[in-house]
Homo-oligomer: A and B are copies of this chain.
C-alpha cells in the first residue's frame, strides 16, 4: 500500500515541479497527510511568532486551521484560500506573505460523506462522527457544511511582546453568538496520544457561507448538515527553529491548559 502511495507521489511531484518551475512541491501523498506547523504546547507557552508563510502553508494543504503571527485571530483555510477571523469578529483573506506560528492543514478529500445530519450540540456531533470512524488511533480532517440555528465562536486578540501564555490571553477572548447562520465547520480529530503536540479529539473552526463571520468553535446547533470525513494515516510535524521555540519549556502535562484554551466559554 505504501508503494502505491509513493508511486502516486512521484507523478504528483513531477507534475507540480514541472508546472510550478521551482515553486515548493506538494508533500508526498499529500491527500493522506496532516501537516502541522509547531506544537499546541508551544502556542500555549506564548510562542506566537513563526517563520512559515501562508504561501508556504498553502503548498502543504488547502484545508485547515490555525492562527496568525502575534496570535492575530483564528485562521481557517478552505478550498485553498486562507481566512483570518480577527478579534472584532471580522473575516479577512490572508495574504501569502503573512506568517503562522501554529497551523494544521491537509488537502481534503472526503472518504465518507453523510448527508442530513442534525446535532443539538458540538458534543452530540462529535459522538455521531466518532460512531462512524474506523478507529480513534488515526487522524481525521472533518468538514461539516450546513445551517446552524446557534453558533458560538471565539477569536483571540493580537498580542504584543512580551507575550503572555495563551492560558492568560484566552481570558480576554472575544466570544460571538451568531444566530441562524449557514456555513462550514473545518477542523481535525487527532488521537489522544498526540495531546500536547496537537489538540487531542476535535478542534474545529467555523466560516460562514458568506465569509463574513467565523472563529474557533465553542458550540452550536446543526441542522441538515453534510459531514465529510477524510482519514489521514500520515502526520508530518514541522518544528520551528527560532530561539523562542528552541528555548521553550515544552514538557508534557498540559491537559488542563489545552482544555482551557480550546473550550473556555466564559462560563467557567
Chain A residues near B (Cβ < 8 Å): 1-3, 6-7, 9-10, 13-14, 17, 22, 24-25, 27-28, 39, 41-42, 51-53, 56, 59, 134-139, 191-197, 233-241, 245-248, 250-252
Contact A52 B2 (CB under 8 A): yes
| Copies of this chain assembled into the complex | 2
Contacts of A240 in B (CB 8 A): 233
Expressed in whole angstroms, the Cα–Cα distance for A47 and B207 within the complex equals 40
Q: Which of B3, B53, B56, B135 contacts A247 (CB 8 A)?
A: B135
Contacts of A3 in B (CB 8 A): 24, 56
Contact A235 B239 (CB under 8 A): yes
Contacts of A41 in B (CB 8 A): 193
Among residues of B, the one whose C-beta sits closest to the C-beta of A194 is: B197
17 contacts between A and B (CB under 8 A): A2-B53, A2-B238, A6-B24, A6-B25, A6-B59, A7-B22, A10-B25, A13-B13, A13-B25, A14-B14, A25-B28, A137-B246, A137-B248, A138-B246, A139-B239, A234-B237, A237-B237
Contact B234 A239 (CB under 8 A): yes
Q: Which of B6, B191, B197 contacts A56 (CB 8 A)?
A: B6
Asked if A250 meets B2 with Cβ closer than 8 Å, knowing A13-B25, A28-B25, the reply is no
Among residues of B, the one whose C-beta sits closest to the C-beta of A233 is: B239
Contact A236 B236 (CB under 8 A): yes
Expressed in whole angstroms, the Cα–Cα distance for A139 and B241 within the complex equals 11
Expressed in whole angstroms, the Cα–Cα distance for A240 and B13 within the complex equals 23
Contacts of A27 in B (CB 8 A): 28
Expressed in whole angstroms, the Cα–Cα distance for A195 and B41 within the complex equals 14
Among residues of B, the one whose C-beta sits closest to the C-beta of A240 is: B233
Contacts of A192 in B (CB 8 A): 250-252
